[in-house]
Amino acid sequence: MSAMELTSPGRARSRTVDPRAGYRAARRREALRAFLLAVPLLVFLSATFIYPIGKLLLMSVQSEEVVNAVPGTAALLAGWPGPPELPSPQTFETLAADLQKAQQEGSLAAAARRLNNYEPGFRTLLLKTVRQLPSTSGRPYSEELPKIDKRWGEAETWRLLKRAATRYTPDFLLTAMDRKVGPSQTIVPVEPSQAIYVDAFIRTFSISASVTLICLILGYPVAWLLANLPARQSNLLMIFVIVPFWTSLLVRTTAWYVLLQPNGVVNSLLVGSGLTSGPIALMFNRTGVLIGMTHVLLPFMILANYAVMRGIPPVYQRAAVSLGAHPALAFLRVYVPQTMPGIGTGTFLVFVLALGYYITPALLGGAGDEMISQIVALQMDRQLNWGLAGALSVYLVIFTLAVYVVFNKLVGVDRLRLG
Amino acid sequence: MSVDTTTVLTERLARRGVRIFSAAVLIFLVAPVLIVIPLSFNQSTYFSYPMTGATLGWYETIFSSAEWRAAIVNSFVIGLSATAIATVLGTLAAIGISRPSFPFRGLIVPILIAPMIIPIVIVAVSLYLVFAPLQLINTHLGVVLAHAALGTPFVVITVTARLMAFDNNLSRAAAGLGASPWTSFRRVMLPQILPGVATGSIFAFATSFDEVVVILFIGGTEQRTIPRQMWAGIRDQINPTILAMAGLLTIFAIVLFLAIGWLQGRNSAPSR
């Protein structure tokens, strides 16, 4: 009673002023209270997920190493119009001083590595130059540097240095699409021998699309059968789908690794039954990747379609048949459209999960089956090329989000269920 | 009349076709594990049949190896800690987003689901980038935080699904009868959504328990989990010990599956 008395004057006052304002305020409070419940998770994900990914994606346009190592040269080069002329002699002097200072401060290694991402051999050029600088005879560096390495006499070398010595750069985003900025400030394709990333994206897409299609073809009839069998039989067969679903991804990939070996179980069956004369290559190639990925992702497709099919009343299809439609036609025109949410959810899940696959292609694939995830890992792990790892990630994230947006438009994310 | 019989015949044929096809697909799904697990009892180190004799030796190797034992303990410590964080944060958020008054739903729900959708390598590489300067690389804490983030979408999705069946009038009734929001949550809502919370936390645990990529990048030698140890084993020199571990994990998977089945039985019980 006392609580009522405490709160009611406030409420009464707002009601007398404007009942709608009071209602709106109450709604705002309710919205705020609902939002506050999600805040802890949002804060947690911001720190452990959104911020890190944002930072990685930003790496794709950042390039601080070179500016930080040779700040004076960078400033001078900013005013240099570019080829065909060489930069001013003053620039040569500044570079020599910058390089020696960077060597002492220890910032040269990072800059050299980054420059090497632009032009293989740049790293050796810098290290060689800085090694020979003290032994020069004291003439102007515009003469000495080209003597140490003739590349310093070429405007193209300086153009690359100028490009690398800016804080923000489109270069990694271009490299990830096999493009670069050419001598006349135009975007040109890179040499065919270095053009590997577009192919890798296409390969990632085609592997994901193939796996999705195979899963749909294999999974749709199974889902239909499971949804239309009597409950007891259906529950029993469901075990065949759910136990693999729960089995560790690594266990399943290991199993295929063992089964698909040249002298493994599958090959001995093939040879034993006389289907093939000798063992065939089933892994370290595309076949292995497709088998492994299909096996891992198929349960998602079956479960998504099953969930929708179980809710479809059979009367519509029966009605169509009783009105004279051929059963096949009734199935295609009446049943299949009703299963679209299931097809959509299954296709989305399988395709998106396949896009980011790493483990299965790494273990079962060959040299020609690298997916984008593996290249991102390689750039970060071995090449220490964070810019390129970031740029490849940018495209992969954009593709993934695009698929998500299409899915959300067509099916709706609310349909995503588990278990 | 003849048209009818052919239709019935084709229908029957189609049904039989679907049955045979489905049987083949279902066998494809379970065969690898069923064929490979027996090989973990094989006496020889060859991965082919016929087996030369049965032994429990490879299982013994696992339990006598300090490395494997540490990996098993690590997997549980990391998995359970990550699950605890994911369950608490995910359940709270799910209660928030299932309120009709929740603002910016279209913007926030995708963010909460994102850890499930963004390619895992990108997550791993980003975490390395941010955790390295904070000295969280090669620490339990770093791995637990990462795995908790990966597990939250599963909790959010399962609890939200469960809350759709929850009648908000019950909470209102409790409040009307004088229950504090906390009491009303604990005594009215929680018992109803508990199966959903438990299902979500099992999913979150399984996610952490099976995760390889993040641990490859940010877990050091101290944080070797079972999947990490298996990955190394397959890459170096695959031997039947890996298959024995696969056998143990499969048994564990069946336990988790049975737990989910039991919870889903409870899930549908009150509403139907």
User: Do the chains contact at A251 and B212, CB–CB below 8 Å?
Assistant: no
Question: Strand pairing partners for B64?
Answer: none
pLDDT given for residue A414 in this prediction: 67
pLDDT given for residue B201 in this prediction: 93
pTM: 0.85
Residue for token pair 């349960």: A299
Angle separating helix axes A19-45 and B105-117, nearest 10 degrees: 10
Angle separating helix axes A108-118 and A386-410, nearest 10 degrees: 60
pLDDT given for residue B272 in this prediction: 31
Confidence at B7, pLDDT banded by 50, 70, 90: confident
User: Do the chains contact at B149 and A356, CB–CB below 8 Å?
Assistant: no
User: Do the chains contact at A44 and B89, CB–CB below 8 Å?
Assistant: yes
B269: contact with A, CB 8 A cutoff: no
pLDDT given for residue B184 in this prediction: 85
Contact status, residue A389 vs residue A408, Cβ threshold 8 Å = no
B133: contact with A, CB 8 A cutoff: no
**What are the pLDDT digits (tens) for B94-141?**
999 988 888 888 889 889 999 988 999 999 999 999 999 999 988 889
pLDDT given for residue A16 in this prediction: 59
**Nearest one of A369, A373, A363, A412 to A395, comparing CA atoms:** A373
Element (H, E) at A279: none
Task: Report chain A residues whose CB lies below 8 A from the CB of B18.
Answer: 221, 224-225
pLDDT given for residue A419 in this prediction: 47
Residue in chain A closest to B87 (alpha carbons) equals A41
What phi-psi label fits residue A384: left (phi over 0), alpha (psi between -120 and 50 degrees) or beta? Answer: left
Question: What is the secondary structure of B85-154 as a DSSP string?
Answer: HHHHHHHHHHHHHTSTT-TTHHHHHHHHHHHHHS-HHHHHHHHHHHHTTTT-TTSHHHHHHHHHHHHHHH
pLDDT given for residue A1 in this prediction: 38
Residues 6+ apart with CB under 8 A from A22: A11, A14, A15
Encoded tokens for B121: 């390598």
Contact status, residue B174 vs residue B184, Cβ threshold 8 Å = yes
Other beta carbons less than 10 A from residue A332's beta carbon: 12
B76: contact with A, CB 8 A cutoff: no
Element (H, E) at A180: strand A179-181
Residue in chain B closest to A228 (alpha carbons) equals B15
* Lowest mean per-residue pLDDT among A29-38, A181-190, B3-12, B254-263: B3-12
pLDDT given for residue A140 in this prediction: 82
pLDDT given for residue A208 in this prediction: 96
Contact status, residue A178 vs residue A190, Cβ threshold 8 Å = yes
User: Do the chains contact at A265 and B47, CB–CB below 8 Å?
Assistant: yes
pLDDT given for residue A17 in this prediction: 67
- In this structure, chain A runs to a length of 419
B19, B28, B35, B121, best to mutate vs chain A, most A CBs in 10 Å: B121
Q: What pLDDT tens digit does each residue of chain A (419 aa) get?
A: 344 444 444 444 545 567 888 888 888 888 998 899 999 999 999 999 999 999 999 999 988 888 888 888 888 888 888 777 888 888 888 888 888 888 888 888 888 888 887 778 888 888 888 888 777 767 788 878 888 888 888 888 888 888 888 888 888 899 899 988 877 778 888 888 888 899 999 999 999 999 999 999 999 999 999 999 998 999 889 889 988 888 888 889 888 988 898 888 888 888 888 888 888 888 889 999 999 999 999 999 999 999 899 888 888 888 888 888 888 888 888 899 999 999 999 999 999 999 999 989 988 988 888 899 999 998 888 778 888 999 999 999 999 999 988 888 888 766 666 54
Q: Phi first, then psi: give them for residue B209, nearest 5 degrees.
A: -65, -25
B203: contact with A, CB 8 A cutoff: yes
Which residues 12-41 of chain B have a CB within 8 Å of chain A?
Answer: 14, 18-19, 21-22, 25-30, 32-33, 35-36, 39
**What are the pLDDT digits (tens) for B162-202?**
888 888 788 888 888 888 888 888 888 888 889 889 989 99
What does the alpha-carbon distance between residue B42 and residue B63 come to, in Å, rounded to a whole number? 17
Confidence at B6, pLDDT banded by 50, 70, 90: confident
What does the alpha-carbon distance between residue B19 and residue A224 come to, in Å, rounded to a whole number? 10
User: Do the chains contact at A358 and B119, CB–CB below 8 Å?
Assistant: yes
